[in-house]
Amino acid sequence: MTSIAQNLSELVGSAFAAQDLPRELGQVRVSDRPDLAQFQCNGAMAAAKQAKKNPREVAQAIVDALSSNDIFSKIEIAGPGFINLNITDEYLQDYLTNLENFGVEPTDEDRKIILDYGGPNIAKAMHVGHLRAAIIGDAVRRIMNFKGYKTLGDVHMGDWGTHMGMLIGDYIREDEQNIVLNADMNDSNAVQKLMDDFAVRYPKASGAAKENPELMQEARDITVKLQDKAEPYYSIWQKIRSISVEGMKKTYAHLGVEFDLWKGEADVHDYIAPMVDDLKAKKLAYTSEGACVIDVTDDQDKKEIPPLILKKSDGGVMYGTTDCATIVERMKLYSPAKMIYIVDQRQSLHFQQVFRAVRKADIVNDNVELTHAGFGTMNGTDGKPFKTREGGVMRLEDLIAMAIDKATVRLNEANLATDMDDAERTDVAYKVAIAAIKFADLQNQRQSDYIFDLDRLTSFEGKTGPYLLYQTVRIKSLLKKAEAQNIKFENAALIIQEEDRNLALLLGEFSDALNLSIQNYAPHYLCEYIHKLAQSFSSFYGNCHILSEENEDLRSSRLLLCHKTANQLEKALELLGIFVPIRM
Contact residues for ligand ARG, defined by CB under 6 A:
116, 119, 121, 156, 158, 323, 341, 343
Measured CA to CA, the distance from residue 177 to residue 239 in angstroms comes to 10
Query: Whole-number minimum distance, CB 86 to ligand ARG, in Å?
Result: 48
Query: Whole-number minimum distance, CB 124 to ligand ARG, in Å?
Result: 8
The strands making up 308-311's β-sheet, listed across from edge to edge, are 285-288, 291-294, 308-311
Judged by beta carbon, residue 350 or residue 431, the one nearer ligand ARG is 350
Query: Whole-number minimum distance, CB 372 to ligand ARG, in Å?
Result: 9
Judged by beta carbon, residue 162 or residue 472, the one nearer ligand ARG is 162
Judged by beta carbon, residue 147 or residue 156, the one nearer ligand ARG is 156
Judged by beta carbon, residue 141 or residue 531, the one nearer ligand ARG is 141
Strands (E) located in 420-524: 450-451
- 3-state secondary structure string across 461-483: CCCCHHHHHHHHHHHHHHHHHHH
Measured CA to CA, the distance from residue 188 to residue 243 in angstroms comes to 10
Coarse DSSP helix, strand, coil percentages of the chain, rounded to the nearest 5 percent: 55, 10, 35
Which phi and psi (to 5°) does residue 394 adopt? Answer: -80, 125
Query: Whole-number minimum distance, CB 570 to ligand ARG, in Å?
Result: 32
Judged by beta carbon, residue 329 or residue 549, the one nearer ligand ARG is 329
Query: Whole-number minimum distance, CB 163 to ligand ARG, in Å?
Result: 10
Query: Whole-number minimum distance, CB 322 to ligand ARG, in Å?
Result: 8
Judged by beta carbon, residue 81 or residue 119, the one nearer ligand ARG is 119
Query: Whole-number minimum distance, CB 294 to ligand ARG, in Å?
Result: 17
CA–CA distance from 50 to each of 56, 61, 177, 370, 565 (Å)?
Answer: 14, 16, 74, 34, 42
Judged by beta carbon, residue 134 or residue 580, the one nearer ligand ARG is 134
CA–CA distance from 164 to each of 200, 218, 225 (Å)?
Answer: 14, 12, 11
Instruction: Return the residue nearest ligand ARG (CB atom).
Output: 119
Judged by beta carbon, residue 342 or residue 513, the one nearer ligand ARG is 342
- 372 with 115: CB under 8 angstroms? no
Cis upstream peptide for 22 (omega within 30°)? no
Label residues 430-447 b or e (16+ Cβ within 10 Å = b).
Answer: bbbbbbbbbbbbbbbebe
Amino acid letter for position 501: R
Judged by beta carbon, residue 159 or residue 509, the one nearer ligand ARG is 159
Helices (H) and strands (E) in the chain, counts: 21, 13
Query: Whole-number minimum distance, CB 363 to ligand ARG, in Å?
Result: 15
Based on the number of CB atoms within 10 Å of its own CB, is 392 exposed (0-12), middle (13-18) or buried (19 or more)?
Answer: exposed
- 3-state secondary structure string across 336-376: CCEEEECCEHHHHHHHHHHHHHHHHCCCCCCCCEEEECCEC
Query: Whole-number minimum distance, CB 327 to ligand ARG, in Å?
Result: 9
Query: Whole-number minimum distance, CB 480 to ligand ARG, in Å?
Result: 45
Q: Give, for 137, the enclosing helix (H) or strand (E).
A: helix 131-146
Which phi and psi (to 5°) does residue 310 adopt? Answer: -90, -40
Query: Whole-number minimum distance, CB 118 to ligand ARG, in Å?
Result: 7
Judged by beta carbon, residue 21 or residue 126, the one nearer ligand ARG is 126
Judged by beta carbon, residue 327 or residue 533, the one nearer ligand ARG is 327
